[in-house]
Structure 1
Amino acid sequence: MIRPATLGFALATGLIAAALPAQVWRSDQGDGTYRNPVLFADYPDPDIIRVGEDFYFVSTIFANAPGVTILHSKDLVNWRIATHVVDWLDGDPRYDLKDGGDYRRGFYAASLRRHKGLFYLAVTPVGHKTRIYRSARIDGPWTYKELGREAFDPALFIDADGTAYLGTSIGMDGTVTLLTLNEDLSAVTAAKVTYYNKGAEGSKIIRHNGFYYLFNAIPGKLAMTISRSRSLWGPWETKPSIDDKTGGHQGAIVDMPDGSWYGFVMVDAGAIGRMTNISPIFWKDGWPWWGTPDKPDFVPDRSPKPIAGHAFAEPPSSDDFSAPTLGLQWQWNHNPDDSKWSLTQRPGFLRLHATQADGIWTARNTLTQKAQGPMMRAIVKLDMAGIEAGDVCGLGSFGKYNAQLSVVGSVKGARSLRMQLTESTQNGPRTDIRVPAIPVTGRTLWLRADMDFQTQQGRVGYSLDNRTWQDVGDAFPLAFDWRTGTFQGQQIAISCYNPAPTGGYLDVDNFTLAPLSVGVQP
């Protein structure tokens, strides 16, 4: 069904220039306070450290490339992307989207520390041995040594005497093991069980005022526990802490320059994925408590900024593709085929050559970035001149549900629009063609994808002039499903593929991400 836009979404502000950032969600309220989450997007399994006056935040990326994203902030509220540690996912052919790819696996929860003038990052690609990356600078270059074993969700901890450890546990067991590392953190020298905490994983370890504190996620209950001991080897005493109803279930705490403490914690939030909340911490009876003394163990929705005076900042989103490299906001679904994309073949455009695939789930060179909530609109301006017979090139959502509005080329040179919804299931992707083909002429076309994470629905539409818009099809669902989806929140995807080994290309002029408001027509 084709009709004028009736979704009830509109840009909260006028369309902005493609190169400008999009403030879909603003945590910093501009009055000395912030509201949670600090990023309304899928930044799961957080680990945050402070180095002087700088905070660094590392998050899980699964099989997106480049990978292992690190963000930087001066105040724990306003974040920018600093770097991706892993330029290319190596060590497994599935990272190249072979043999069904490595969906729901890849590079899980990383742990970041600073030690003797170097940054160290521990991360375990699922099914492979743990890696310790190191670099003198947060933006690299990074190199790694592989340890002799797989440590699930490694917790890197440097003790006061300089000895380095990795804590590891997995929720189906809950046995917390400490691996002792050698001096340059390149090998395991000993392994010893330190604690059993049923269902525990995602451990974090800190030391404060003579105690070791062990933070554990209990995913089965979406809850967190805190344990403490005078020795790394126990005995440990444990108390329950927050859960997803009161703030989150996986994270830890970080010290501030003035000696105070703040907490960071992940919360499951539906189709947007798993987001990170920041909370003040107060100490009572030798324990860290989330929130404030008048409302303990509750992450506030709004609170004074941890550090005042820093300006608004956010990860980039919109792009006019005029730079010689892709912006840090972009990640490929698995490793790309670098012969099939270019920013230089037509300067000012991203060129995506059609890759051979039977659908977006198997298509290499699908370019993604995180969807943003609570309500967003993505628009791409396309040049269709290079699209050839069989090419399927367009924009849409990517995740559990992949709703793609694509330009399809025909043998007669004509082009049409097709809206299809692909659901990832335990039996593989299932595709539903939602509307009959819509003929399009000319070479310039705008496509848009709206996502409302309050209603968990989205829509797609098109325009021939960027003024008059047509919705295509009905609303489609948005969802998070770690069993059959990507284990990520919904992503925005630009793709171009062809079932045949030959094909043309799609030129993307610009991409704009902006917020939506309710009840106003575009």
Structure 2
Amino acid sequence: MSEIVKAINPIVPLDYPDPDVIRVDDTYYMVTTTMHFMPGCEILRSYDLVNWEHAAFVYDKLDSTPAQRLENGQNIYGKGMWAASIRHHKGKFYVIFAANDTRKTYLFTAEQVEGPWEKSEIEGFYHDSSLLFDDDDRVYLVYGNRDVQLIELESDLSKPKEGGINRTIVSDRDNPNLGYEGAHFYKINQKYYVFLIRSLPDRWMRVEGCFVADSIDGEFKGGDIFIDDRNYCGQGVAQGGIVDTPDGDWYAILFQDHGAVGRIPILLPIKWENDFPVFGAEGKVPTDFTTKSTRPNYSYQPLVNSDDFKQRYDNTYGLAPIWQFNHEPIESDFSINEDKGYFELRTSKVTNNILDATNTLTTRMLFPHCAAEVTVDASQIKDGDVTGFSAFQGAYGFVGITKQDSKYYLIMRTKPLDNLEMQSFDPNETPEKEWERIEIDHPTMTFRIEADFWQMKDEVKFLYQKDDQFIQIGPNHQTAFRLDHFTGCRFGLFYYSTEQSGGTVQFSQFKYIK
């Protein structure tokens, strides 16, 4: 018996951009972009396309380059893995993505979605690629920006097939904004469909396109098929995968920009008219509609949650899957004490800012509002050390504790925005500013961050607990989604040393307030 499930958009009010989705029997899987965070390439699982939970991370670390490990002043902000393609073929899962720091295209395969995942590479660099296994065992990849290419791969997916198909199927070279990219490639009822994203040429607004051909060698015809912003700040809904249900219904999962909180998945019903897809209802994202669950009364694990650090999880880092490190962690510099319930960080290098701090532990912020609290024990930090609780993004802010001349201080600092333009890849060069400093006697404090993302207000405030009350420190801080990091704002637990390494800090009682 199927269970009727009400869908209300956005289905997942968190930063899960560039979604691709498949169904294997009664289970849906969605993979999204994780950029520089590790473990990376997260796959979610659902039985109704509305509710989702963590299924797996495809990798714990990628190539362990100096930049991926935040070594020698290098980083991969705004790079890392982008726009994965997930497929299931002859009993095996396939995930393909390109990483913009290494300029490589990676292929991961597994018998089970939980892994283990085997890593290899595909010769070449294929931006926003999509994989298709055809009925005759030929394998194709569609990729590219502005000029969208179709190539044939060797049967082992190791490289382009010698003498195989290699041609441009769609071109949007003259678009002054974003040209077609974000390919999703399918064969449905013996026709070939490519779904793409671009911006309208006359203004910045993401739109969804579709092109269809009668054969793999044929002409791909089509254009923009879905232009809607849900009446939300002019931000279009586009780029993602389509999937069918066991009953033969079709849906698309696309994303929509929501400002500093990130890019959020939107679910759309699809109808087919004359073998061409029609997204939404009367050209719009429906406010609500229904789907069917393949597993009635299933209880999903939350994608964001509180953590008392009293449980060690069965994965490489031992942490709940709500957490990802900013870049590859140094495993010798963190530990979990599940008996006493704390996450401990140690420093092994000297730096001067949070963006270069290794082992920062992050979790996504929730749209449209959220808050979180954490207790920080800084009694074992050294002079010059800085630790605390951050709204982590290129234009970050934090409340924390520092130590100078053997005295402890409560501080609030931000890196104010120097450019509100989302399309800027340039790093935020505005100097960090300290807004408030208070000498304290006891270096164990509970901090709170409150965030308001509604209508792209994108403001966070920082508070500390005193006498059972939370008191704001410093001004409200403006965050923003920009291409320098290309990710939504996150809660971050951090620690770095500016004079000498070797100190420790403990975080406990992380409380997520939804």
Instruction: Calculate the TM-score normalised by the size of structure 1.
Output: 0.87
CA distance 1:234–1:188, change in 2 (3 Å) = same
Aligned-pair CA distance for 1:108: 0.7
2:446 is the alignment partner of 1:446: yes
Report Cα offsets for 1:170-208 as digits up to 9, x if no partner.
1xxx22222222223233213511412312111101122
Distance 1:109 1:202 in 2: 7
Contact 2:191 2:213 in 1 (8 A): yes
Report Cα offsets for 1:115-157 as digits up to 9, x if no partner.
1111011111114221111010101111122111001111011
Distance 1:346 1:361 in 2: 31
Aligned residue in 1 for 2:288: 302
Distance 1:427 1:31 in 2: 47
Contact 2:193 2:212 in 1 (8 A): yes
Greater shift, 76-85 or 216-225, is seen at 216-225
2:351 is the alignment partner of 1:379: no
The aligned length equals: 476
Aligned residue in 2 for 1:188: 160
2:513 is the alignment partner of 1:514: yes
Aligned-pair CA distance for 1:260: 0.8
Contact 2:4 2:293 in 1 (8 A): no
Contact 2:436 2:473 in 1 (8 A): no
CA distance 1:332–1:376, change in 2 (3 Å) = same
Aligned residue in 2 for 1:222: 206
Distance 2:93 2:170 in 1: 30
Aligned residue in 2 for 1:151: 126
Aligned residue in 2 for 1:77: 50
Distance 2:427 2:48 in 1: 45
Aligned residue in 1 for 2:470: 469
Distance 1:130 1:106 in 2: 11
CA distance 1:275–1:427, change in 2 (3 Å) = closer
User: What is the DSSP-based 3-state SS (H/G/I as helix, E as strand, rest coil) of the residue aligned with 1:188?
Assistant: coil
2:332 is the alignment partner of 1:360: no
Distance 1:330 1:244 in 2: 33
Aligned residue in 1 for 2:227: 243
Q: Choose which of 92, 103, 107 in structure 1 pairs with 2:77.
A: 103
Aligned residue in 1 for 2:421: none
Give the alignment's Cα RMSD to 1 decimal. Answer: 2.0
User: What is the DSSP-based 3-state SS (H/G/I as helix, E as strand, rest coil) of the residue aligned with 2:431?
Assistant: strand
User: What is the DSSP-based 3-state SS (H/G/I as helix, E as strand, rest coil) of the residue aligned with 2:332?
Assistant: helix
Aligned residue in 1 for 2:30: 57
Report Cα offsets for 1:226-246 as digits up to 9, x if no partner.
111111222121032113525
Distance 2:292 2:416 in 1: 42
Aligned-pair CA distance for 1:31: 8.3
Q: Choose which of 317, 326, 331 in structure 1 pairs with 2:305.
A: 317
Report Cα offsets for 1:308-331 as digits up to 9, x if no partner.
734453314211111221111111
| 1:262-301 correspondence runs (5 A) | 262-292=251-281, 295=282, 297-301=283-287
Aligned-pair CA distance for 1:431: 3.3
Q: Choose which of 327, 330, 340 in structure 1 pairs with 2:333.
A: 340
Greater shift, 181-190 or 41-50, is seen at 181-190
2:476 is the alignment partner of 1:501: no
Aligned-pair CA distance for 1:63: 1.0
User: What is the DSSP-based 3-state SS (H/G/I as helix, E as strand, rest coil) of the residue aligned with 1:382?
Assistant: strand
Distance 2:248 2:427 in 1: 53
Q: Choose which of 176, 179, 192 in structure 1 pairs with 2:151.
A: 179
User: What is the DSSP-based 3-state SS (H/G/I as helix, E as strand, rest coil) of the residue aligned with 2:476?
Assistant: strand
Q: Choose which of 173, 197, 200 in structure 1 pairs with 2:180.
A: 200
User: What is the DSSP-based 3-state SS (H/G/I as helix, E as strand, rest coil) of the residue aligned with 2:83?
Assistant: coil
Report Cα offsets for 1:155-176 as digits up to 9, x if no partner.
0111122222111111xxx222
User: What is the DSSP-based 3-state SS (H/G/I as helix, E as strand, rest coil) of the residue aligned with 1:144?
Assistant: strand
Q: Point out where structure 2 has 5 or more consecutive residues left out of the alignment.
A: 173-178, 231-235, 313-317, 419-425
User: What is the DSSP-based 3-state SS (H/G/I as helix, E as strand, rest coil) of the residue aligned with 2:67?
Assistant: helix
Aligned residue in 2 for 1:459: 461
Q: Choose which of 123, 138, 162 in structure 1 pairs with 2:97.
A: 123
Identity between Structure 1 and Structure 2 (%): 30
Q: Which amino acid aligns with 1:201?
A: E
User: What is the DSSP-based 3-state SS (H/G/I as helix, E as strand, rest coil) of the residue aligned with 2:260?
Assistant: helix
Aligned-pair CA distance for 1:65: 0.8
User: What is the DSSP-based 3-state SS (H/G/I as helix, E as strand, rest coil) of the residue aligned with 1:361?
Assistant: helix
Report Cα offsets for 1:283-329 as digits up to 9, x if no partner.
1122111123xx2x212121113437344533142111112211111
Aligned-pair CA distance for 1:382: 2.1
Aligned-pair CA distance for 1:433: 3.0
Contact 1:390 1:503 in 2 (8 A): no
Greater shift, 236-245 or 124-133, is seen at 236-245
Contact 1:78 1:312 in 2 (8 A): no
User: What is the DSSP-based 3-state SS (H/G/I as helix, E as strand, rest coil) of the residue aligned with 1:473?
Assistant: coil
Distance 1:306 1:31 in 2: 5
Instruction: Calculate the TM-score normalised by the size of structure 2.
Output: 0.88
Contact 2:244 2:250 in 1 (8 A): yes
Aligned-pair CA distance for 1:498: 1.0
Distance 2:293 2:32 in 1: 22
Q: Which has the higher contact order (CA 8 A, sep 6+)?
A: 1
CA distance 1:422–1:287, change in 2 (3 Å) = same
Q: Which amino acid aligns with 2:226?
A: I
Aligned-pair CA distance for 1:92: 3.2
Q: Which amino acid aligns with 1:396?
A: S
Aligned residue in 1 for 2:395: 401
Q: Which amino acid aligns with 1:193?
A: R
